[in-house]
């Protein structure tokens, strides 16, 4: 029996969420060891509610990450909790996954805006990469100094200002295209 497009898209979304949950777990553990419940709360906070892990989703993910050697669980008998730590291998996988994510996002962004330009909805341009440089300092460089972190945030603020200008320019082009279509 053939799946509907909605079913297929739902399956893909689930798989992507599992991948992002793994990435979120590794990120949260770069900040220090945590037990599962605290991890669920922190992931929800750090992702602004975009990823809201449940025990049924988190614990199998933790087991998988542990079996791959990316994290290590340690039972604390007096607290009856298992606390997880990221391993060096886990840190390296996190760095590589984030770098690859940004390469993929950049490629998709270029493709998307090229398609819009081909449709004459916008003129050919490349949307600036807003977060990548800041993320590399703030997430991937654990040894970044306070000054480096401040500089990264200042650059991020400037990039968001430029992004707002870019979005205004695209909006103007779309408005012009709408008017062209109406007048034909």
Q: What is the mean pLDDT of residues 156-184?
A: 82
Whole-number pLDDT of residue 130: 57
If one counts every other C-beta atom within 10 angstroms of the C-beta of residue 79, the result is 9
Q: Which residue has the higher pLDDT, 140 or 59?
A: 59
Distances (CA, A) of 53 to 11, 17, 42, 77: 17, 10, 10, 25
Amino acid 58: pLDDT: 94
What average pLDDT is seen over the chain?
Answer: 83
The per-residue pLDDT for 139 is 63
> Comparing 62 with 180, which gets the higher pLDDT?
62
Cβ neighbour number for residue 62 with a 10 Å cutoff: 22
pTM of the model: 0.64
pLDDT digits (tens, 9 = 90+) for 68-103: 999 999 999 998 899 999 999 999 999 898 888 878
């Amino acid at each position: 029996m053939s799946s509907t497009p909605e079913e297929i898209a739902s399956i893909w979304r689930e798989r992507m969420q599992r991948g992002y949950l793994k990435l979120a777990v590794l990120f949260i553990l770069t900040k220090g060891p945590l037990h599962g419940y605290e991890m669920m709360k922190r992931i929800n906070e750090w992702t602004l509610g975009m990823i809201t892990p449940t025990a049924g989703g988190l614990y199998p993910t933790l087991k998988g990450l542990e079996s791959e050697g990316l994290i290590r669980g340690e039972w604390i008998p007096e607290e009856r909790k298992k606390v997880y730590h990221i391993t060096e291998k886990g840190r390296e996988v996190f760095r590589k996954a984030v770098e690859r994510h940004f390469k993929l996002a950049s490629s998709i962004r270029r493709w998307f805006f090229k398609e819009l330009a081909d449709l004459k909805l916008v003129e050919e341009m490349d949307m600036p990469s807003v977060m990548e440089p800041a993320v590399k300092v703030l997430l991937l460089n654990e040894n970044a100094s306070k000054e480096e972190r401040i500089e990264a945030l200042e650059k991020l603020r400037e990039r968001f200002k430029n992004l707002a200008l870019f979005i205004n320019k695209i909006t103007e082009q779309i408005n012009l295209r709408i008017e062209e279509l109406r007048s034909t």
